[in-house]
Amino acid sequence: MKFITRSLRPLGMFLIFTFATWAIFGSIFVRNTGSSNFFVNILEYTISFENRFYDFRMGSQLNPEYKSPDIRFVKIDDYSLQKIGSWPIPRTVHAKMLNKLKAFGAKVVALDVMFPEKSPNIGNTSPDAAFAQAIKDFQTDGRRVFLAFTFAEEGEESLAEAPLEMLNDAVQTRNVPEVDMVARKINRFTFPIEEFVTTEVGLGSISNSDDSDGVFRKYQLIANIDTIYYGSLAFNSFEAFSGKKNTVRIFADATGELVINNKVLELSDMAETKIRYIGGEEVFPTANLYDVISKPDNDPEMIALFKDKMVFVGSTANGAHDLRASPINSKMPGVFAHLNMAHMLNHQYFYQLNNDSVKYSLCVLFIGMLIFIFVQYFGNAFLDAVVIFVILGICYLADRYYFLPNGYELKLFYCFFCFIACYTWNTFLQFYAAAKEKKQIKGAFSRYVAPTVVDEMLKDPDNIQVGGKKMDITCLFSDVRDFTSISEGMTATELAHSLNRYMGEMTDIVFDTKGTLDKYIGDAIVALWGAPLQIGNHAQFAVEGAIKMMEALPAINEEFKQLGRPEFRVGIGLNSGECSVGNMGSSRIFSYTALGDNMNLGARLESLCKHYGAQILISEYTLARLDVSQMKTRPIDRVIVKGKTTPVAIFEVLHKFHYLWADDEALKTFNQAHQLFMNKEFATAQAFFEGLSTKFPEDKPSKRFKDLCKKLHNQPELVTENFDVTKMTEK
């Protein structure tokens, strides 16, 4: 068992550690490649937990007091829709909004709104022409407007090729020869109409995919459209706002990187990167659409809000159905993905390189495991638990106050999983080993003591110590008559077989009647009822056990007879009372037993069975505890055993193989005769006992009382106060 435990412990820890290490690398791989393969399928479930745990930690870092210095938001909210009175919003309203934002001094306006179809004319006025003119008017003095489009998914119609107008905002790339990122096609049903495209308006994709758990964490920054690399709404708006073109480097595995002011932003083969959220509407200064179009051109609040800023326009209205699950809000308007990405680009608020995050994640994993393995050698379960909690706490605090603020994506879920799983594994093995050892101890000790005693020992190890306590019990002593003579007539093997057969049957009866085996003394059996566990009327259980022993004996003797071996004749004595019960012996070797005068009396009663010709003798103390309606008894004598001065009434308990069991009339006659004897009517009693002796010549008690009645009748001077008491001079 110890070998298996020692082998399984390091093996399990190694497998858990290997999985955690593999998962840390795998989670980065999945995020960066966007591919679907065997590793993704294996890791997908655990990555969901890793992502959720990271979302929780990232959410705790948000500062609602922070306000973006250069990005503003115009929200198309329910209030604006109610005031404007129509949906979709007329393009004349969008034109008015652009004119107002120009008057307020906005530098870049990005509309998270799609214009894929023409608007019907209103009288002689074309809303499309008005909006197109507003775009042209805005795009002066270096200002830009950007409109949104999406990419075609599988089964959707796409444009045959990218319009030439998109070349104006194409992203500069530096490719490894003949290596391109995954190609995309433009959805023809979301691309702006030609009237707007020909105004030299900027364009930007807004297609983003969610993770396997339905949360939008990634953002497609650029896309390969017919070998033209084109930016997203946030990226193109950023470049227009900064006035600087940036170069994307593409590597041999089709992943890439964008470098801005010496800060590197890693991209997957889909040109996706993870959004480092700073918040929602609370961190981006906001105005609703209706207020923008209704304020005068010289409104100081609006000028202060929008002058020289990058402005995003998008819907927050409930009916717009543009709510998405994000790491910081389960229902966040989709436009905030663009706002947060634009903030990332403006301030180079990037995550650290994946390799650095992996490096620190592995360092946390290695150091934590080394500490845990070191502590394991002390073998202290409490210390193990304390150290695990300390490791988890230190890792969490280090992540919260250093790694997260500095943009490291520590894979704490896998580290925590490894620590907790290793601790759980070791704890399980310890419990398993302890349970196995306890089972082995119970199996071994149950061969010598009653299972109840073993259970009590294992339940409270403090009880396994030298000493005892006072308990009211019933003790049983049984002995095989003339065992010395029996043993002389058998070989050692035959004797051992016969004795084991007899002892096994008797011991099973003790256990079946809720008794406790005290000890074997050669051919003698000592048993207890009422200790170590209280069982109710222990005297009743004990006497029932004695009866079952006697009733089991004929079948055993029949087996012996078939084998040509001597039969066993047994005497049993029982007594009830208070004894000192517990583990007796030395501090190194002890046994569970009972001591006291009441135990001695039980032993004396067993030895008196032969003297009185009885098979089961009980004391008056045991009889007083019995339900006599459930059994048959008869009085035998009042006796002073050797070493005592007080007489004790003793009784015989009958069993179904006793010659008086089936003869209720004879038993009744014996009891009547005994009562006459006690009333000193010796002549009458003698006559009754005479009849019983004639009928049952083997009944030694009837013969004894017959002779005693005759003696007392003929010698009246012997009839003293204790005429019915027998004083024993031998044990």
Task: Read off the pLDDT of residues 668-723 as tens digits, 9 standing for 90 and up.
Answer: 999 999 999 999 999 999 999 999 999 999 999 999 999 999 999 999 888 888 89
Give whichever of 32-46, 306-320, 672-686 has the largest mean pLDDT: 672-686
**Tokens matching residue 321:** 């159905």
Q: In the prediction, which pLDDT does 457 show?
A: 62
For residue 34, pLDDT over 50 is answered with: no
Q: In this structure, what are the phi and psi dihedrals at residue 584, rounded to the nearest 5 degrees?
A: -115, 140
SS (HEC) of 315-376: ECCHHHCCEEEECCEEEEECHHHHHHHHHHHHHCCCCCCHHHHHHHHHHHHHHHHHHHHHHH
Residue 107 carries which DSSP code? S
Tokens of residue 448, six digits: 């010598």
Which residue has better confidence, 548 or 4?
Answer: 548
Secondary structure (3-state) at 552 = helix
pTM over cut 0.95: no
Three-state secondary structure readout of 323-340: EEEECCEEEEECHHHHHH
- Whole-angstrom Cα distance, residue 553 to residue 561? 12
Q: Tell me which DSSP letter residue 466 carries.
A: B
List Cα–Cα distances, 450 to 53, 521, 666, 687, in angstroms. Answer: 53, 16, 39, 49
What are the tokens at 712? 């007392």
Give the strands of the sheet with 286-288, arranged side by side: 202-205, 144-149, 108-111, 310-315, 71-76, 286-288
**254: confidence class by pLDDT, cuts 50, 70, 90:** confident
What is the pLDDT at residue 588? 67
Please tell me the predicted confidence (pLDDT) of residue 449: 57
| Element counts in the chain: helices (H) and strands (E) | 22, 25
Give the span between the Cα atoms of 665 and 648, in whole angstroms.
Answer: 27
Judge whether residue 33 has pLDDT over 50: no
| Mean pLDDT, residues 468-483 | 92
Q: If residue 20 lies in a helix (H) or strand (E), which one and from where to where?
A: helix 2-33
pLDDT for the residue 371: 94
pLDDT higher than 80, residue 589: no
List Cα–Cα distances, 430 to 5, 269, 368, 379, in angstroms: 8, 48, 21, 10
Query: How many whole angstroms separate alpha carbon 289 and alpha carbon 83?
Result: 10
Residue keyed to tokens 């059994």:
631
Residue 553 in contact with residue 616, Cβ under 8 Å? Answer: no
* Mean pLDDT confidence for 264-284: 93
- Do residues 577 and 642 lie in contact, with contact meaning Cβ atoms separated by under 8 Å? no
Q: How far apart are CA 724 and CA 643, in angstroms?
A: 19
Is there a contact between 416 and 20 (Cβ–Cβ < 8 Å)? no
Query: How many residues are there in the chain?
Result: 731
443 bridge partner residues: none
- Dihedral of alpha carbons 267, 272, 277, 281, sign: positive
Stretch among 101-115, 197-211, 443-457, 617-631 having the lowest mean pLDDT: 443-457
By DSSP bridging, strand 202-205 and strand 144-149 are parallel
Residue identified by tokens 């000192």 is 580
- Phi-psi label, residue 204: left if phi above 0, alpha if psi -120 to 50, beta otherwise: beta
Q: Are 281 and 73 in contact (CB under 8 A)?
A: yes
Q: What was the pLDDT predicted at 77? A: 92
Note whether 665 and 687 are within 8 A (CB). Answer: no
Cβ atoms within 10 A of the Cβ of 282, count?
A: 14
User: In DSSP terms, which residues pair with 411 in a beta bridge?
Assistant: none
Q: Which structure tokens are listed for 192? A: 């702006």
SS3 44: helix
Strands (E) across 465-545 are located at 467-480, 515-521, 524-529
* DSSP conformation class of 695: H
Cis peptide before 532 (omega within 30 of 0): yes
309 has a pLDDT exceeding 60: yes
CB 677 within 8 A of CB 709: yes
Q: Where are the beta strands (DSSP E) in 440-505?
A: 467-480
Q: Which residues contact 695 (CB under 8 A, 6 or more apart)?
A: 666
Which H or E run includes 639?
strand 633-640
pLDDT at 85: 86
Do the Cβ atoms of 518 and 596 come closer than 8 Å? no
Among 22-36, 49-63, 661-675, name the most confident range: 661-675
Q: What angle do CA 477, 480, 482 make, to 5 degrees?
A: 135
At 531 the pLDDT is: 85
Q: Mean pLDDT for the chain?
A: 89
Domains of the chain by start residue, with CATH: 2-57+353-433 (no CATH), 66-118+126-347 (no CATH), 460-658 (3.30.70.1230), 664-731 (no CATH)
CB of 71 within 8 A of CB of 309? Answer: yes
- Per the rule left: phi > 0, alpha: psi between -120 and 50, beta: everything else, 671 is alpha
| Predicted pLDDT at 437 | 72
User: Please, which pLDDT band fits residue 460 given cuts at 50, 70 and 90?
Assistant: low
How far apart, in Å, are the Cα atoms of 388 and each of 90, 379, 415, 422, 615? Answer: 62, 14, 12, 10, 66
Question: Could you give the CA distance from residue 102 to residue 113 in angstroms, rounded to a whole number?
Answer: 19
